[in-house]
A and B are shown apart, each in its own frame.
Chain A
Amino acid sequence: NAGVMQNPRHLVRRRGQEARLRCSPMKGHSHVYWYRQLPEEGLKFMVYLQKENIIDESGMPKERFSAEFPKEGPSILRIQQVVRGDSAAYFCASSPSGGIGGNQPQHFGDGTRLSIL
C-alpha cells in the first residue's frame, strides 16, 4: 500500500536550468497539494490540483513556477530558470477523492530537496 511517492529525492540544478518535480498520489486519491519548505521554516502552501484542473494556485510565485496533474501520470511541479532562492524542500500531499477535500487528512510524501548551484 504505497504512500505518496515523490521523485527525485534530491535534485541539483545550476542557475538558469529547469527543475521538474514529480508526485504520484496515494491510490484512490485525486486531490494533490504542493508545499515548499525553506531552510529553518515551516511548510508554505503553493498549489492545489485535481485531475486536469488547478483549483487554487494562490501560493504559487507568479513567474517561473507551474504545476499540472494530467489525466494519466503523476503531478508535476515545474520551475523554469531556477535561482538560488528556489533551493528548498518541496513536499507533495494527497487526499482521498469524494466528499469535501478539505475535511480529509492530507498524506505527505518524503519531499524533493532542490539545491541550486
Chain B
Amino acid sequence: GIQVEQSPPDLILQEGANSTLRCNFSDSVNNLQWFHQNPWGQLINLFYIPSGTKQNGRLSATTVATERYSLLYISSSQTTDSGVYFCAVRLRETSGSRLTFGEGTQLTVNP
C-alpha cells in the first residue's frame, strides 16, 4: 500500500522561530491534506493541497506531486502552534476514498 512518511518525528522550537515539516509519499495522489491535532485532540484542517502552493496567515504549504512530497511551513511560531501535524493522502488509482495518514510530527513551541 501507499507509504506516507513525515519528518522530523519531533521538533522543539523557541517562540518566533520558523520551521519546515516534510511529507513524502510513495505513489501518485489526487488528494493531500495537512492537519493540526491540538493538545485537546481536535483535528484542524489546515490545507487541501494536492498540488501547488497555498498560504494562510503564518502557515503555507507546497506540494510537488511529480516528486511526491509536500512541505508545510510555519513562520514566527507561537506556543499555540504546539501539537501534532499530520499529512494525509489519497491514492490516485485507488478504488476507495480513504485517506492514508503519516505518523505525524510532534511540534513543541516553548515561550
Question: A residues touching B (Cβ–Cβ < 8 Å)?
Answer: 31, 33, 35, 41-45, 48, 55-56, 58-59, 89, 91, 93, 95, 101-108, 110-111, 113
Q: Is the CB of A56 within 8 A of B97?
A: yes
The CA-CA distance from A108 to B99 in the complex, in Å, is: 12
Distance, CA A110 to CA B40, complexed state (A): 9
Number of interface residues of B (CB under 8 A): 23
Question: How many Å from the CB of A105 to the closest CB on chain B?
Answer: 4
A42 lies within 8 A of B42 (CB): no
Cβ of B31 within 8 Å of any chain A Cβ, yes or no, is yes
Compute how far the CA of A33 lies from the CA of B103 in the bound complex, rounded to whole angstroms.
Answer: 19
Return chain B residues, CB-CB under 8 Å to A41: 103
Contact A95 B97 (CB under 8 A): yes
**B45 beta carbon closer than 8 Å to chain A:** yes
B101 touches A44 (CB 8 A): yes
A/B interface sample: 18 pairs, CB < 8 A: A31-B97, A33-B99, A35-B101, A41-B103, A42-B104, A44-B101, A48-B97, A56-B97, A58-B98, A93-B99, A95-B97, A102-B30, A103-B30, A104-B31, A107-B45, A110-B42, A110-B43, A111-B42
Specify which of A43, A104, A107, A113 is in contact with B88 (CB 8 Å cutoff).
Answer: A43
In Å, the complex CA distance between A104 and B48 comes to 9
Nearest neighbor of B44 in chain A, beta-carbon distance: A108
CB distance from B104 to the nearest CB of A (A): 6
Which residues of B are at the interface with A, using a C-beta cutoff of 8 A? 30-31, 33, 35, 41-43, 45, 48, 86, 88, 90, 94-104
Minimal beta-carbon separation of A60 from chain B (angstroms) = 12
CB distance from B28 to the nearest CB of A (A): 12
Given contacts A43-B88, A45-B98, contact A103 B45 (CB under 8 A): no
**B101 touching A102, Cβ below 8 Å:** no
Residues of B within 8 A of A45 (CB): 98-100
**A111 to B99, Cβ gap below 8 A?**
no
Name the A residues within 8 Å of B94 (CB-CB): 102
